[in-house]
Amino acid sequence: MLEWFQANGRDLPWRATRDPYPVLVSEVMLQQTQVSRVVPRWEAWMRRWPTAESLAAASGADVIRAWQGLGYNRRALALWKAARIVSAHGWPDDLTELPGVGRYTADAVACFAFGQPVLPLDVNVRRVLARSGMEFGPDAAEALMDLGATVCLARIPRCGECPLANGCRSRGRRFEPVRKQGPFEGSFRRRRAVALRAVAEGRDPADPDAVAALARDGLVEIHGRSARLPA
């Protein structure tokens, strides 16, 4: 696996650091977002806010504006709140105490930044482990992620390119498609995104239901008949 990774691993910018802050930013951005979309946004984010302290000093409005286009905007506020906690108190021993950090994200930061002996189980890692029936330690984490993302694909895995093929119990199988999320166009998620962009640009969102939902999530503040981004 490690030999395969040396020759075939993805060159991702956040893999060049063991600083927990940029690792956390990458993991939060990667939640339900394609790597190809995240890379340029992560690089721009890190140029603007290179440390947890710099992000903590930003306004919520600037953070939300910078996040536009990545989707699931609550992630931006959670990341900002986490940076404020880290800036004030340091990194907690239990990373799930940070806003927006679940078990996988905590394990990823613990493994990739703090060198803790834990294997982060994202969807790609789980797929490789389940199909192969093999066990791996934390040293193989990035290799497993890349294998699942580029070779051991969800429906039609590329078994001929897989370094585990000879011992894999699922070699040659095809798999039913996993149920996908509903289309974005025409959905309430789309309406929320359009309304939030309008507020960020100082326009009337003209969608009170979407604005109310954004307010419940803390993404906008309602003042009289107008909405604005949080301070």
Indicate which residues carry an active-site annotation.
27
Angle between helices 60-67 and 74-89 (to 10 degrees): 130
Cα–Cα distance, 177 to 84 (Å, whole number): 40
Would you call 206 helix, strand, or coil by DSSP?
A: coil
Cα–Cα distance, 58 to 107 (Å, whole number): 27
CA atoms within 13 A on the CB side of 141: 19
Task: Give buried/exposed letters for 130-162 (b at 16+ CB in 10 A, else e).
Answer: ebbeeebebebbbbbbbbbbebbeeeebebeeb
